[in-house]
């Protein structure tokens, strides 16, 4: 196993590894990482038969392994039984705030959940979801389906910018790049209400991933988000796809996903940010100078 920086990666071999790994998420594709990660490398075998993507940031010369916004976790790819990933990762990154599908860095993790509806799952609505979907129909809301995402990102920018942690001009630019890269890969699926917003999903290899979206306040009050997500779920079921809600640590979002029938699955978060005193001091000075 060796660390390979982004510019030296064999893109075709890496994307093939992601594509051929059963159940692998979108987050490890090169076009996804290029959009959301500040820097990234991979830990991979010479023949690209196994590996893991490793995004990182560099501040004041210190490298930290991290999970970028709009990505949930990273995961082992290919044939990885018996391979020690822990040692080379910890030798490369002394600090990390990293989410991974498998607990490969040993003990000291926290468990988190994301929600899915598999193609074989019978969807179960809560009373809240039933009321919201009924309200949407009663108020004449109608979903449009396309690959065009501009109306959605416009509403996301208007309604979510600086209202949630990590959603700002920089991250919205990354989201726009991600939408464009996904469209070039022909995997963008948009469920929307025209200029009133909607949601953007990605379809590939047996799954439909909810990436991001929102609707205008009036449409939200009338059940628009419930209708948009449920339309995507029904689309996934009709095509025999697993539906992935994308995951969120916000309790309200988790409840929303559960209301539409989402079932919890587990992943692991590792945190080691005991930076030296000089680093913490310089970071504090840097933040003050930016104000």
Alpha-carbon distance of 47 to 150, in angstroms, equals: 40
The tens digit of pLDDT for each residue in 3-41 reads 999 999 999 999 999 999 998 999 999 999 999 999 999
Helices (H), 37-149: 86-92, 127-138
Query: Mind listing the pLDDT tens digit for each residue in 209-254?
Result: 999 999 999 999 999 999 999 999 999 999 999 999 987 778 888 9
| Domains in the chain with CATH codes | 2-112+267-290 (3.40.630), 122-261 (3.40.630.30)
pLDDT of 286 > 80? The answer is no
Q: Is 128 helix (H, G, I), strand (E, B) or coil?
A: helix
Q: CA-to-CA distance for 82 and 217, rounded, in angstroms?
A: 51
Q: For residue range 8-18, what is the model confidence (pLDDT) as tens digits?
A: 999 999 999 99
Long-range CB contact pairs, 182-189, < 8 A, 24+: 182/31, 182/32, 182/211, 183/147, 183/149, 184/31, 185/29, 185/31, 186/147, 187/26, 188/147, 188/149, 189/145, 189/147, 189/232, 189/235
**pTM flag (> 0.85):** yes
pLDDT in tens, 150-189: 888 888 888 776 566 667 888 889 999 999 999 999 999 9
Q: Which residues contact 243 (CB under 8 A, 6 or more apart)?
A: 116, 117, 118, 207, 208, 210, 232, 233, 236, 237
Four-residue CA torsion sign, 2, 4, 10, 12: positive
pLDDT averaged over the chain? 91
Q: Tokens at residue 23, please?
A: 């159940």
Q: Which residues pair with 71 in a beta bridge?
A: none
Cβ atoms of 119 and 242 closer than 8 Å: yes
Say if CB 230 and CB 260 are below 8 A apart: yes
């Amino acid at each position: 196993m060796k660390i390979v920086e982004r510019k030296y990666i064999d893109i075709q071999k890496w994307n093939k590894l992601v594509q051929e790994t059963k159940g692998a998420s979108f987050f490890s594709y090169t076009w996804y990482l290029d959009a959301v990660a500040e820097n990234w490398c991979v830990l991979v075998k010479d023949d690209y038969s196994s590996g893991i993507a490793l995004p990182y940031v560099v501040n004041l010369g210190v490298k930290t392994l991290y999970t970028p916004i709009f990505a949930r976790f990273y995961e082992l790819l290919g044939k990885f039984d018996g391979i020690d990933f822990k040692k080379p990762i910890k030798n490369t990154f002394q600090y990390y705030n990293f989410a991974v599908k498998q607990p490969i860095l040993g003990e000291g993790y926290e468990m988190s959940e994301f929600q899915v509806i598999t193609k074989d799952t019978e969807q179960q609505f809560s009373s809240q979801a039933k009321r919201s979907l009924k309200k949407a129909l009663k108020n004449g809301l109608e979903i449009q389906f396309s690959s065009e995402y501009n109306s959605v990102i416009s509403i996301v920018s208007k309604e979510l910018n600086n209202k949630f942690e990590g959603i700002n001009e920089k991250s919205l630019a990354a989201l726009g790049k991600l939408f464009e890269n996904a469209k070039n890969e022909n995997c963008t699926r948009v469920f929307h209400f025209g200029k009133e917003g909607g949601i953007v999903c990605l379809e590939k290899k047996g799954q439909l991933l909810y990436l991001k979206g929102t609707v205008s306040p009036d449409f939200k009050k009338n059940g628009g988000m419930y209708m948009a997500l449920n339309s995507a779920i029904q689309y996934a079921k009709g095509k025999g796809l697993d539906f992935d809600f994308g995951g969120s640590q916000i309790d309200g979002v988790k409840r929303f996903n559960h209301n539409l029938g989402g079932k919890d699955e587990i992943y692991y978060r590792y945190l080691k940010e005991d930076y030296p005193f000089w680093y913490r001091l310089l970071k504090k000075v840097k933040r003050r100078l930016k104000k």
